[in-house]
Structure 1
Amino acid sequence: MIQDPPSPDTDLGALRPQALLLTFFGGYILGRRVHVATASVLDVLGRVGVSEDATRSTLSRMARGGLLHRVRRGRSVYLGLTARSREVLHDGEFRVWRMGAVNTHWDGTWTLLGFSLPDSWQRQRHVLRSRLLWAGFGALQGGLWIAPSPVEVEPLLDGLEAAAHVKVFQARALPPTDVDELVRDAWHLEAVAARYERFLDRWDGSAPPDGPADSLARQLLLQAEWLQVVRRDPRLPREHLPADWPAERAQRVFRSVYAELDPAARAITAELLDTIPDEESEPVV
């Protein structure tokens, strides 16, 4: 089941505790088949400036939402991933490490999605639009949305009554369609570019001036901020983007700074994290 996208943060550097927690679990727990002590997680988030109360509250909410599995050993509680959180984290991993910031292999195919919902279905309409934006669609006109390249639409409609009112096609633009104009109409390019520019302002050449000195904390902030940027980028075809598009430069900066911080960050976690194998404890009830 698709996770409904959260409301986006208004700016970089204002990351919510859940975004930082997911970044931590994705970087240091995903694929290891372990649970990590709550105390270790509190320590990690404290290094990024998140209070213990805020972290505990977010962890409880994530557990109730099926994103974390809690087990107990003695007086300590350990946290592990669920099938749902693994799906979310694998998606983030794919976007960060395997999917380039710019679509350089576009074959000219567009996914077209149209819908018409009753006026009373305001919540359904809101959820559907949020999921489409999250998946890289842009609103072209009326109830017609488009996305570059093929998109697996069924997960976007999971659990929505609106699914019965949706029609999906794949197509290619034909003359006299001006694809550059189509892209400008469907997406707010200036807003997407501005997020990359803000990322570059914070990370190009040094850590954020208001950020922590700790390498682990800086790496978590870096990756969480980068994921926030790329998840709000529809990855439009390079040939239809402005010549000075900042995405690829920002991607180079992200990967360079991440690699610079990684040895020290992993040394910190090797000493800091208290983990147990998945199967060694009883669930918390």
Structure 2
Amino acid sequence: MNEAVIREARNLPAEPLALAELAATEAPRAPAFIVTIYGDVVEPRGGMLWMGTLIECCARHGLNESLVRTAVSRLVGAGQLEGVRIGRRSFYRLSEPARAEFREAARLLFAPPPVPEDWLLCLSDALRDADLPLPWARLAPSVALAPNREDIAPVAGVLLRAKQLDGHGDLGQLASERWGLPGVAEAYSSFLARHGALRDLLAGPVRVSPEDALALRLRLVHDYRHAALSDPRLPRAAYPHDWPAEAARKLFVTAYVGLSKLAETHVGTEFLSPDGHLAARNDETEWRLFQLRREAAA
């Protein structure tokens, strides 16, 4: 869609604007978007998905059948998807390693841990030749720093807990350089710009179709996941005052909850597994919504 059409769409009511933004956005990479579909829709329902449903869902986002089939083949080859043929139909599910990976991502999306307050400092000569796992950052050949979070894997060496003393040094500059925060901020800002029209859509009286609601929610999850997974989740003092993560999180929570009732209606009527349609809702999807509603209320 060219810029003139987009500018014209911005003068339309909220519903066409939100959908025009979706149509104007460049198609996502097929393999990553297919993983988003499985993580958001299929995996929490514990099922498999018919290839035909996957093709139809991806078509709404500018991905044609050839791209989808090629991406699925690559995901199977990479061990992320597993397939089974029943009659003339092919069905796919996430492999166990991919399920474990997305469970961790789902925790970040739907029940994020508290923001850390301080740091872990590791001192060891062995760090000189070590490949440090993220979000550990090397400060010197034998010194590494990471946010003090429960999910941080320790590295070998003397491990200390550290806290910055006010007025000593520029923590923000250090964090920006070591963790590439400008790129993370750009990902959050792009998410806000791309999905900001959902605020008006959900606040107004206009309703979208179940199919459109699911399309909007899938891209919401896809783009927010990209930004959130790139964020090292440092103590708040390490970020600039205008850090966009909080606004992005608020938009994600509000929009996901607001779109889900209609989106799940579409899942329950159109998404096919070997046992029939996937459930519109189950305990896992209700838990996700409960967590987000509780976060919004807080």
**Structure 1 length normalisation: TM-score?**
0.72
Take 2:142 and 2:60, find their aligned partners in 1: how far apart are those partners?
45
1:64 corresponds to: 77
Take 1:91 and 1:168, find their aligned partners in 2: how far apart are those partners?
28
* Structure 2 runs not aligned, ≥5 long: 1-24, 200-210, 277-298
Q: Deviations over 1:19-76 (max 9, x none)?
A: 2111111111114332211111111111111111111111111112221121111111
- Are the aligned partners of 1:40 and 1:272 in contact in 2 as well (CA < 8 Å)? yes
Deviation larger for 190-199 or 176-185: 176-185
Three-state SS of the structure 1 residue aligned to 2:43 is: coil
Distance 1:141 1:51, change over 3 A: farther
1:210 corresponds to: none
User: Which of 9, 24, 36 matches 2:49?
Assistant: 36
Distance 1:17 1:139, change over 3 A: farther
In structure 2, give the amino acid aligned to 1:95: L
Distance 1:256 1:140, change over 3 A: same
* Structure 1 runs not aligned, ≥5 long: 1-11, 118-124, 155-162, 208-212, 279-285
Q: Deviations over 1:231-267 (max 9, x none)?
A: 1111111133222221111111111122222222212
Three-state SS of the structure 2 residue aligned to 1:71 is: strand
User: Which of 12, 29, 53 matches 2:66?
Assistant: 53
Q: In the alignment, is residue 153 of structure 1 matched against residue 163 of structure 2?
A: no
Q: In the alignment, is residue 201 of structure 1 matched against residue 200 of structure 2?
A: no
- Are the aligned partners of 1:199 and 1:250 in contact in 2 as well (CA < 8 Å)? yes
Take 2:26 and 2:160, find their aligned partners in 1: how far apart are those partners?
38
1:281 corresponds to: none
Three-state SS of the structure 1 residue aligned to 2:224 is: helix
1:270 corresponds to: 268
Take 1:250 and 1:168, find their aligned partners in 2: how far apart are those partners?
37
In structure 2, give the amino acid aligned to 1:245: W
Distance 1:277 1:33, change over 3 A: farther
Q: Give the paired residue count.
A: 237
In structure 1, give the amino acid aligned to 2:56: D
Q: In the alignment, is residue 189 of structure 1 matched against residue 146 of structure 2?
A: no
Distance 1:57 1:112, change over 3 A: farther
Pairs within 5 Å for 1:235-254: 235-254=233-252
Q: In the alignment, is residue 95 of structure 1 matched against residue 108 of structure 2?
A: yes
- Are the aligned partners of 1:48 and 1:218 in contact in 2 as well (CA < 8 Å)? no
Structure 1 residue 187 displacement after superposition: 2.6
Distance 1:13 1:239, change over 3 A: farther
Structure 1 residue 99 displacement after superposition: 1.2
Q: In the alignment, is residue 219 of structure 1 matched against residue 217 of structure 2?
A: yes
Take 2:214 and 2:29, find their aligned partners in 1: how far apart are those partners?
17
Distance 1:62 1:144, change over 3 A: farther
Three-state SS of the structure 2 residue aligned to 1:29 is: helix
The structure 1 segments of at least 4 consecutive aligned residues displaced by more than 4 Å after TM superposition are 173-177
Distance 1:174 1:257, change over 3 A: closer
- Are the aligned partners of 1:15 and 1:225 in contact in 2 as well (CA < 8 Å)? no
Q: Once the two structures are aligned, what percentage of the paired residues are identical?
A: 24
- Are the aligned partners of 2:117 and 2:236 in contact in 1 as well (CA < 8 Å)? no
1:171 corresponds to: 161
Identify, as 1 or 2, the structure richer in helix: 2
Structure 1 residue 180 displacement after superposition: 4.3
Distance 1:168 1:202, change over 3 A: farther
Deviation larger for 20-29 or 198-207: 198-207
Of structures 1 and 2, the one scoring higher in RCO (CA 8 A, sep 6+) is: 1
Take 1:97 and 1:231, find their aligned partners in 2: how far apart are those partners?
13
1:4 corresponds to: none
**Structure 2 length normalisation: TM-score?**
0.69
In structure 2, give the amino acid aligned to 1:84: P
In structure 2, give the amino acid aligned to 1:92: A
Distance 1:14 1:73, change over 3 A: closer
